[in-house]
Amino acid sequence: MSGMRATTIHGPGDIRLSEVPDPTLLEPTDAIVRVTSSCICGSDLWPYRGENPITEGATIGHECIGVVEEVGSEVRDLRVGDFVVVPFDHCDGTCAHCLAGVHSACVNLGMTTSGQGEYARVVHADGSLVRVNGVGDGGVPDPALVPSLMALSDVMPTGWHAAVAAGVKAGDTVVVVGDGAVGLCGVLAASTMGAEKVVVMSRHEPRQRIARDFGATHVVAERGKEGAAAIKEITGGIGADAVLECVGTGQAVGTAFAVARPGSTVGFVGVPHGVELPVGRMFSKNVGLAGGMAPVRRYLPDLLDLVLAGTIDPGRVFDLTLPLDEVAEGYRAMDERRAIKVLLQP
Ligand SMILES: [Zn+2]
Ligand SMILES: [Zn+2]
């Protein structure tokens, strides 16, 4: 290996496929993964839209699956040829924060930085990577399974984390704010956890359809005050038992608190941009906020089992597949909301 093709960002709206140096093992606990599929994340749109600082020419992309290509001398649990899901946040699995289930705050936290490329470096491979059994020796999984495995790299564990943070339990009425891939996975998480009513806030028909297939019982197309009023009606004037905030804007967070019943918790996983918390309402109504960056590795083994058993099919959030060569078109399609989520094939 000497050089690889990888997606790079050069400025707002400027995505290219470039030749960059191959990632290499830097620590004996690292692994290099040959990416067999990757995808574009809603959070990639923040720098794409110029709302996050950009390092010109930096690689981008944090979601991928693939085959272990190389392992450091201290990697014990993985072998070259293993097929793995790569959590976007890498962790050692052994520090106090990992042991407490907050792998996303690992003292050795790493991130996938060239997921939309041909190879990705993973730090603390033993703690981070999850092997997909039954697929090995450089093999690739059943193509029908690829989108759902891909969703396990970020969006499904993130939607699941929102539901866990919000304390979703059987019989609950759950409101999901956001109909992006994470919001849809939040719907799937809430219904899998046994919520009785799952309300998704969405005004886009294709997304509403997936949400219904994922277990949404109600769709609210209105936003702001009208949306909150519609949810009040669905909940008999009480409000939701749990709210999943999967967007990260001030408006979405405001809506989440407006529809949360007194004593409930808003689980938030949208990367916050311009959010001001309604502390007055949080205080007077005893509404809590929990969540944050998802500890993907915490949920990944169980979610993988659910995928392999056919219990959940989070890969349905992908509605466009492109060759890596066309990654720039993939970003445009997601930016213009022509696609929910784009799968890339190197
Ligand atoms: Zn992501
Ligand atoms: Zn750790």
Ligand of minimum distance to the alpha carbon of 46: 1
Phi and psi at residue 102, to the nearest 5°: -110, 60
Mean local confidence (pLDDT), 277-293? 97
Q: Are residues 275 and 320 in the same domain?
A: no
Q: Are residues 18 and 150 in the same domain?
A: yes
pLDDT of residue 137: 54
Q: Are residues 72 and 169 in the same domain?
A: no
Structural domain boundaries, residue 134: 3-154+295-345
Mean local confidence (pLDDT), 32-43? 96
pLDDT of residue 242: 98
Q: Are residues 106 and 166 in the same domain?
A: no
Residue showing tokens 């349905």? 316
Q: Are residues 185 and 276 in the same domain?
A: yes
- In 3D space, the residue among 31, 147, 84, 100 whose CA is nearest the CA of residue 301 turns out to be 84
pLDDT > 90? residue 346: no
Q: Are residues 139 and 86 in the same domain?
A: yes
Q: Are residues 175 and 117 in the same domain?
A: no
Ligand of minimum distance to the alpha carbon of 152: 1
Phi and psi at residue 215, to the nearest 5°: 115, 5
Q: Which of 65-74, 131-140, 291-300, 335-344 shows the lowest mean pLDDT across its residues?
A: 131-140
Give residue-wise pLDDT tens across range 51-105: 999 999 999 999 999 999 999 999 999 999 999 999 999 999 999 999 999 999 9
Q: Are residues 224 and 275 in the same domain?
A: yes
pLDDT of residue 124: 98
Per-residue confidence band for 37, with pLDDT thresholds at 50, 70 and 90: very high
Q: Are residues 195 and 224 in the same domain?
A: yes
Residues 6 or more apart from 39 whose CB is under 8 A from it? 63, 64, 115, 116, 150, 153, 318, 341, 342, 343, 344
3-state secondary structure of 341: coil
Give residue-wise pLDDT tens across range 115-149: 999 999 999 999 999 999 877 555 678 889 999 99
Tell me the CA–centroid distance for residue 173 and ligand 2, in Å: 34
Q: Are residues 161 and 237 in the same domain?
A: yes
Q: Are residues 119 and 220 in the same domain?
A: no
pLDDT > 70? residue 1: no
Tell me the CA–centroid distance for residue 93 and ligand 2, in Å: 5
pLDDT > 80? residue 258: yes
Tell me the CA–centroid distance for residue 299 and ligand 2, in Å: 15
pLDDT of residue 290: 98
Domain holding 332: CATH number? 3.90.180.10
> Per the structure, how many domains does the chain have?
2
* The last residue of a domain, from among 273, 291, 309: 291
Tell me the CA–centroid distance for residue 270 and ligand 2, in Å: 22
Mean local confidence (pLDDT), 234-243? 97
Q: Are residues 303 and 280 in the same domain?
A: no
Ligand of minimum distance to the alpha carbon of 100: 2
**64, 33 in Cβ contact below 8 A?**
yes
Ligand of minimum distance to the alpha carbon of 60: 1
Tell me the CA–centroid distance for residue 63 and ligand 1, in Å: 6
Domain holding 209: CATH number? 3.40.50.720
